């Protein structure tokens, strides 16, 4: 218990690159900027690691003289200069926009329309359209009215006499005051504002992590691969697709598994694609094996390559070799030299005596869809889709790991932190020896140890924990 407490106390969140999503100015002239991963109040930077209720602030307003902040998944909060306090009565997530006028705070949400808060509490709009539609933008005009963007349902003006649609078919991502009046702009670059660079990390949605030649590499969901330099800043690696599924370093080469094939990195700044000659080269997982073998879990089965040769002696293992499905998500070698493959229809162990099948029907697995494998001596730990982690033995038997019966294990979502078992889940966060570690997102996607630190990738950012 003490070890986990110390680990949490030393958490550091890295802020990804990105534009400002909202700006405002406090009554004392302090500039406030919100962007993915950070709220900057003057020179103070707040992240999930040092006080933000949620890693993704989405909108700002000055209400009753205080900073009011909306978050993607935590609702609306007021900042008193030292602490956040929730604005009660509002939806807890999907807040898209804020505007303040007089003593009233207007709140636009993605799922339950328009709300407002006044001295009597929180209220949902009674307007037939505005109470049910997505609200994408709000603006408090100088004449006392409020302008609202209702997604594809147009631009509305709200006054004490009621709401009227000004323009039909305009999708307002934000409103901007010009000399001619209020202007609605489309979502995207027209609404984004420049922000000072931070860590250089291209995206906060991490999908894979690896250390290679002394550097940390982060694969992302939408911005490819980044390398962390000696100065602590990330730079993008050219030559790879936007979506990264898996990373593996053999000490000389960094291998990159993507939905568009296998890539390798030898120089620091550009990767090259390795042609496998398969009908589909969707790579889900990577693992090292004996004899400089690189194992790939792909949509066409398990592929074995010589990590120092390529093209010579490539092996493709599928249903003909005992796999229950050629859709493989994970692959691993155990201490006894057996090869294990986790597929959409169960697990197979390929050993000297042949193939051993592990399925839900055989009683070895709680679910046939296996997303992760981790060798543990001659056994493997198998992570499943929404059914926890099972320990599989060479004799064909399996049992659920204590405390991990119902977790939804993410792809490549089982690892070791020293002797501790770390499980990365969708919805239950990071579990270390069965104990939940709080992180910016409960969708934990990657983990790698580096010296006395552990890097954890989530859908809500990259966090560094000290051991």
Q: Are residues 111 and 213 in the same domain?
A: no
Model confidence at 312, pLDDT cuts 50, 70, 90, reads: low
The model's confidence at residue 196, banded by pLDDT at 50, 70 and 90, is low
Q: What share of the chain is helix, strand, coil (3-state, %, to 5)?
A: 5, 50, 45
pLDDT for the residue numbered 467: 62
Inside any domain, residue 1: no
Label residue 373 by pLDDT band (50, 70, 90). Answer: very high
Q: How far apart are CA 24 and CA 60, in angstroms?
A: 7
Same domain, 217 and 80: no
* 133 within a domain of the structure (yes/no): yes
Summarised one tens digit per residue, pLDDT across range 38-70 is: 999 999 999 999 999 999 999 999 999 999 999
Please identify, among 131, 150, 185, the residue that sits at the C-terminal boundary of a domain: 185
Residue 215 near residue 253, CB atoms below 8 Å? no
Tell me how far CA of residue 183 lies from CA of 166, 174, 308, 353, in angstroms. 12, 8, 59, 73
Question: Which of the pair, 307 or 17, is modelled with greater confidence?
Answer: 17
Query: Looking at the structure, do residues 254 and 309 belong to the same domain, yes or no?
Result: yes
pLDDT at 370 (0 to 100): 98
What pLDDT sits at residue 102? 85
Mean pLDDT of the 399-426 span: 94
Q: Are residues 142 and 290 in the same domain?
A: no
Distance of alpha carbon 407 from alpha carbon 374, whole angstroms: 16
Query: Are 243 and 174 contained in the same domain?
Result: no
162 plus 249 within the same structural domain? no
Q: Is 420 found in the same domain as 375?
A: yes
Give the model's pLDDT for residue 363: 96
Domain boundary among 123, 153, 185: 185
- In this structure, are 118 and 26 located in the same domain? yes
Question: Is residue 199 assigned to a domain?
Answer: no
Task: Say whether both 315 and 359 belong to one domain.
Answer: yes
pLDDT value at 195 more than 50: yes
Nearest to 125 by CA among 139, 104, 142: 104
- Residue 311's pLDDT is 46
In a domain? residue 282: yes
Q: Is residue 7 situated within a structural domain?
A: no
* The pLDDT of residue 269 is above 90: no
pLDDT per residue as tens digits for the range 135-162: 999 999 888 899 999 999 999 999 988 9
If one counts the domains in the chain, the total is 2
Residue of 390 and 142 predicted with greater confidence: 390
Give the separation between CA 7 and CA 5, rounded to whole angstroms: 5
- C-alpha dihedral sign at 404, 408, 414, 417: negative
Residues 347 and 404 in one domain: yes
Are 327 and 451 found together in one domain?
A: yes
Q: Does one domain contain both 156 and 227?
A: no
Query: Per the domain annotation, does 194 fall within a domain?
Result: no
- What's the whole-number average pLDDT of the chain? 91
In a domain, 2, yes or no: no
CATH classification at residue 460: 2.130.10.10
Range of the domain at 63: 21-185
Is 391 within a domain? yes
């Amino acid at each position: 218990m003490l070890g986990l407490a110390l680990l949490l106390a030393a958490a550091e969140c890295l802020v990804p690159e990105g534009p400002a999503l909202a700006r405002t100015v406090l009554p004392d002239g302090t500039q406030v900027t919100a962007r993915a991963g950070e709220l900057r109040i003057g020179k103070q930077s707040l992240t999930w690691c040092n006080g933000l209720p949620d890693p993704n602030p989405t909108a700002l307003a000055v209400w009753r003289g205080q900073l009011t902040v909306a978050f993607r998944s935590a609702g609306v909060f007021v900042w008193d200069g030292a602490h956040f306090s929730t604005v009660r009565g509002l939806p807890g997530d999907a807040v898209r926009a804020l505007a303040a006028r007089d003593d009233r705070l207007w709140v636009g949400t993605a799922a339950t329309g328009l709300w407002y808060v006044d001295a009597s509490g929180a209220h949902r709009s009674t307007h037939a359209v505005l109470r049910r539609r997505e609200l994408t933008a709000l603006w408090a005009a100088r004449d006392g009215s409020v302008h609202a963007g209702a997604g594809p349902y147009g631009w509305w003006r709200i006054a004490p006499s009621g709401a009227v649609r000004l323009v039909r078919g305009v999708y307002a991502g934000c409103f901007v005051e010009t000399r001619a009046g209020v202007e609605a702009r489309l979502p995207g670059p027209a609404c984004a504002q420049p922000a000072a660079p931070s860590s250089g990390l291209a995206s906060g949605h991490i999908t894979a992590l690896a250390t290679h030649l002394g550097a940390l590499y982060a694969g992302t969901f939408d911005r490819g691969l980044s390398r962390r330099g000696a100065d602590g800043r990330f730079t993008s690696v050219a030559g790879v697709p936007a979506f990264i599924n898996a990373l593996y370093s053999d000490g000389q080469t960094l291998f990159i598994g993507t939905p568009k094939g296998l890539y390798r990195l030898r120089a620091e700044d550009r990767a090259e694609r390795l042609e496998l000659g398969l009908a589909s080269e969707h790579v889900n997982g990577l693992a090292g094996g004996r004899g400089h073998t690189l194992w790939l879990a792909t949509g066409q089965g398990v592929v074995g390559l010589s990590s120092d040769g390529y093209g010579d002696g490539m092996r493709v293992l599928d249903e003909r070799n005992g796999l229950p499905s050629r859709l493989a998500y994970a692959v691993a070698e155990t201490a006894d030299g057996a090869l294990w493959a986790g597929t959409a229809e169960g697990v197979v162990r390929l050993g000297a005596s042949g193939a051993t099948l592990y399925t839900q029907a055989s009683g070895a697995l709680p679910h046939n869809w296996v997303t992760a494998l981790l060798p543990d001596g001659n056994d493997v730990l198998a992570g499943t889709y929404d059914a926890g982690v099972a320990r599989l033995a060479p004799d064909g038997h399996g049992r659920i790991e204590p405390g991990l019966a119902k977790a939804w294990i993410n792809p490549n979502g089982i690892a070791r932190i020293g002797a501790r078992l770390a499980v990365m889940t969708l919805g239950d966060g990071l579990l270390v020896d069965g104990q939940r570690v709080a992180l910016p997102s409960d969708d934990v996607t990657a983990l790698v140890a580096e010296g006395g630190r552990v890097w954890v990738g989530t859908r809500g950012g990259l966090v560094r924990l000290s051991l």
